[in-house]
Amino acid sequence: MIDEFDDFPMPPQLGWLDEQPLLLASASQTRMAMLMDAGLPIVVAPSDVDEAPVKAEGKANNTSAAEVAEQLAVAKASSVSQMHPGQITVGADQMLVLRDSKETEQWFDKPENRGLAHKNLSILSGKSHQLVTATAVCVDGEVQWSSSRSADLTMRDLSDAYIRAYLDTLGDEVLWSVGGYQLEGLGAQLFEAVAGDFFTILGMDLTGLLAHLRDRQALLA
């Protein structure tokens, strides 16, 4: 189903040249806001790609999180674009990676409930982790462009009392992201250091995507 935001206050658009709006293969409110705030006309058609088997195969084959994230971003964009001929379609995926002293990767998914969110925050407390963000553009099922970028974040030592207060305050919002936080909101309080592109942390290589759209003359240069 495509959402066209008929009742949503739209930011001003700038420079879009393609005949059809950009199609976002994601239900992420953050990604929607990023694209609209950047002046792009979008419609939304969330992908129904099942991430679990792709991640399971990646773990079994010792595939890096960056490669798996890019596979998922491509799969999402490709599957949706095949149902919308000729329309530029963007897909994205983000993975949270915690590495131990042997560089073994532990991947985190969106927590399914408050208990898992509490457990994940307790594990990440006082440690550095990496957010890996992949973005892909497809037209008619064919990959036109893709990228994988990462950011490094160091979480401060969190008391159990703080974690409980954080979860009480955010409620179900902690279930919306892989780390149980949104850095642009109350999640900023969790960190002592952040290194990396802000858009990458939010879940999309926005600057790379805009450059690709200019290169294909879908966006005014």
DSSP state of 190: G
Residue type, 23: L
Q: Cβ distance 56 to 93 under 8 Å?
A: no
CA separation (Å) from 121 to 5, 159, 170, 186? 34, 10, 14, 14
The residue annotated as part of the active site, out of 48, 93, 197, 215, is 93
Q: Are 139 and 81 in contact (CB under 8 A)?
A: yes
Question: Strands 128-139, 105-108: parallel, antiparallel or unpaired by DSSP?
Answer: unpaired
Containing 202, the helix (H) or strand (E) segment is helix 198-202
Establish whether 93 is a catalytic residue: yes
Are 72 and 134 contacting, i.e. CB atoms less than 8 angstroms apart? yes
Is 79:143 a contact under the CB 8 Å cutoff?
A: no
Please identify every residue annotated as catalytic.
93
